């Protein structure tokens, strides 16, 4: 049994393993510690998300959904191999599982069949959610599988664990299928090999999200009056998540539809920059322009094209 790594040590372990890491909002204090303890920790659990799209996947894993509040893991491993840290502490990812499996993780022996759900896994494991539909068809890019390997190895290295401390959700809780698309035996073999690599090279820097200003402005001018909440430009979600992280937009409104709540939030961002006047055509009217969007992009790590 080990005490959980501090947020700083967790981040450092992932970076030292050569991973590209994004810190999502106030991840260091986002947890479920008020409902129960986190630690001692015994291993690293791997999941798939059953979602498509990195921005939406990260939002769900950070915020949760009705009946299961977030964070739903500690880190999200995206298709491009980047790791998005969304929580530190107890997270809703493992649920109740098999005590015999826990004993096997601790002793790093062969896992038995998981046929009980009586032990609190949220207390005992780090959790990584991996962006994948989990249907057995959605591909696992090589860079993503390498990131899973590196992330698991990073925490094993930090705690002095072997690859036997890495498990899948399907090995812990009866009825769970994840991760689907690769075997955990194969992943443990990869982790075991990596634990003998002292200084892994860094992964390629992932491509940052790009927002088309002209399409975003068109959405801001046309979406608020629509009753169907249709997503007219998917890049809107990137901006909405940035506004959520700035504390200007409630997370349920980060849905890709540039509605009235998003207009209001963007107008408050413009006012934060010193613009005034909320009527149409005025400086803080809630419609993105080059200067205000560029300022948001610099703070929230996305690019824009005009």
Residue 142's nearest CA partner among 192, 77, 61, 49 is 77
pTM (2 d.p.): 0.68
Please state which CATH number belongs to domain 7-194. Answer: 3.40.80.10
Q: CA-CA distances (angstroms) from residue 160 to 12, 153, 165?
A: 15, 10, 10
Q: Under 8 Å CB-to-CB from 8, ≥6 apart: which residues?
A: none
Per-residue pLDDT tens digits of the chain, which is 306 residues long: 689 999 999 999 999 999 999 999 999 999 999 999 999 999 999 999 999 899 999 999 999 999 999 999 999 999 999 999 999 999 999 999 999 999 999 999 999 999 999 999 999 999 999 999 999 899 999 999 999 999 999 999 999 999 999 999 999 999 999 999 999 999 999 999 999 866 455 556 567 889 999 999 999 999 998 878 888 899 999 999 999 988 999 988 888 999 999 999 999 999 999 998 776 667 889 999 999 999 999 988 899 998
Could you please report the per-residue DSSP string of 50-80? S--SHHHHHHHHHHEETTEESP--SEEE-TT
Per 3-state DSSP, the chain is made up of helix, strand and coil in percentages (nearest 5) of: 40, 15, 45
Residues comprising the chain, all counted: 306
Show me where the domains of the chain are located: 7-194, 210-305
């Amino acid at each position: 049994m080990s005490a959980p790594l501090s947020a700083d040590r967790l981040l450092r372990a992932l970076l030292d393993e050569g991973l590209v890491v994004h810190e999502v909002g106030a991840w260091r204090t986002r947890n479920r510690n008020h409902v129960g303890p986190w630690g001692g920790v015994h291993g690293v659990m791997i999941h798939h998300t059953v979602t498509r799209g990195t921005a939406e996947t990260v939002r769900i894993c950070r915020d949760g959904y009705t009946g299961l509040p977030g964070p739903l893991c500690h880190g999200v491993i995206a298709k491009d191999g980047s790791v998005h840290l969304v929580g530190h502490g107890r997270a809703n990812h493992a649920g109740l599982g098999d005590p015999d499996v826990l004993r096997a993780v601790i002793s790093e022996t062969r896992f038995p069949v998981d046929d009980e759900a009586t032990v609190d896994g949220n207390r005992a494991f780090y959790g990584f959610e991996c962006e994948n539909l989990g249907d057995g068809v959605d591909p696992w890019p090589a860079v993503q599988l390498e990131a899973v390997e590196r992330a698991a190895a990073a925490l094993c290295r930090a705690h002095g664990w072997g690859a036997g401390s890495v498990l899948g959700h399907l090995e812990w809780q009866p009825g769970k299928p994840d991760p689907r698309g690769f075997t955990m035996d194969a992943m443990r073999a990869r982790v075991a090999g990596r634990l003998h690599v002292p200084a892994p090279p860094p992964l390629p820097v992932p491509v940052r999200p790009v927002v088309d200003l002209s399409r975003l402005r068109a959405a801001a001018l046309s979406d608020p009056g629509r009753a169907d909440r249709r997503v007219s430009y998917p890049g809107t979600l990137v901006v909405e998540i940035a506004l959520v992280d700035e504390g200007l937009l409630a997370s349920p409104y980060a849905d890709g539809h540039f509605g009235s709540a998003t207009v209001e939030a963007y107008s408050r961002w413009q006012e934060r920059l010193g613009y005034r006047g909320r009527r149409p055509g005025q400086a803080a009217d809630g419609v993105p322009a080059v200067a205000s969007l560029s300022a948001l992009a610099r703070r929230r790590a996305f690019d824009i094209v005009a």
